[in-house]
Amino acid sequence: MKEQLLLIGGGGHAAACIDVLRLSGIFSIAGFVDPALEPGTNCFGYPVLGRDEDLPALARLYPNAFITVGQIKTPTVRMRLFATLAALGCNLPRIVSPLAHAADSANLGAGTIVMHFALVNAYARVGKNCIVNTRAVIEHECHIGDHCHIAVGAVVCGNVTVEDGVFIGAGAVCRQGIHIGAGAVIGCGTTVLTDIPAGTIFTGKKC
C-alpha cells in the first residue's frame, strides 16, 4: 500500500505537481491544506483537509508532506511552510518525474521537485524546497541553493552557482560559470552573461 502524502497549497502549481505525483506512483495523495480553501470541499479532485493552523494535527496523521505552493519572485511563503513542516517532524520527500532525468551523481535536497522533461545533470546539486520546472535544464556541476525556482524551460549552464531564494524565469539562459546572488530575480526570456548581485531584479535582455 502506498504511503499518503499531504499537499500544502492548492493553486495552479499544485495541479502540475499532482500530475507528476500520479505518474511517479510513489505516494497516494491524502488531500490539501490551504488557507484560502474551505475544509470539506475538493481541490483538483482531492479533499481539502484543513488550513495552516491545522498542520500540527494533520502532521500526526500524515507524516509525509509536500509544498505545492508556487514561487514567483519571492520564496517567502514556501520558506515559511518548509520551516513549519520541518519543525513538525514531517518527511519532505524528493519528487522526480519519471519523464525527467536526475543524474546518479546529482544531489537533490528535501522537498525538491523535478518536473516533466527537466534535466539535472552530472554532479549538480539542488538544495532544499526547490522547483525545477518543466523542461528546465540544470547542467553539470551547478550548485543551486535552497528555496529556488528554476522556471519552465530555463537553462542553467555548467558550473553556475545560484544562492538561496533565487527565481530564474521561464526561458532564461544563464551562461556557464556565473554566480547569482541570494534572492535575485531573473526575468523570463533573459540572457545572463555575468554575475548577478544578491537581491537584483533583472529583466533586461542581457547583463
Tens of pLDDT, residue by residue over 100-133, are: 999 999 999 999 999 999 999 999 999 999 999 9
What share of the chain has pLDDT > 90, as a percent? 95
- Whether 6 has a pLDDT exceeding 70, the answer reads yes
Q: Distances in Å between the alpha carbon of 15 and those of 11, 101, 128, 165?
A: 7, 21, 21, 23
DSSP 157-198: -TT-EE-TT-EE-TT-EE-TT-EE-TT-EE-TT-EE-S-B-T
Q: Answer yes or no: are the C-beta atoms of 2 and 27 closer than 8 Å.
A: yes
Structural domains of the chain, ranges and CATH numbers in brackets: 3-87 (3.40.50.20), 94-199 (2.160.10.10)
Confidence of residue 159 (pLDDT cuts 50, 70, 90): very high
pTM: 0.96
Number of CB atoms found within 10 A of residue 28's CB: 13
Of all helices (H) and strands (E), which one includes residue 88? none
Amino acid at 192: V
Whole-number Å distance between alpha carbons of 23 and 17: 10
What share of the chain has pLDDT > 70, as a percent? 99
- pLDDT value of position 73: 79
Confidence of residue 207 (pLDDT cuts 50, 70, 90): very low
- pLDDT value of position 205: 56
Region 176-203: mean pLDDT is 97
Tens of pLDDT, residue by residue over 67-102, are: 999 998 799 999 999 999 999 999 999 999 999 999
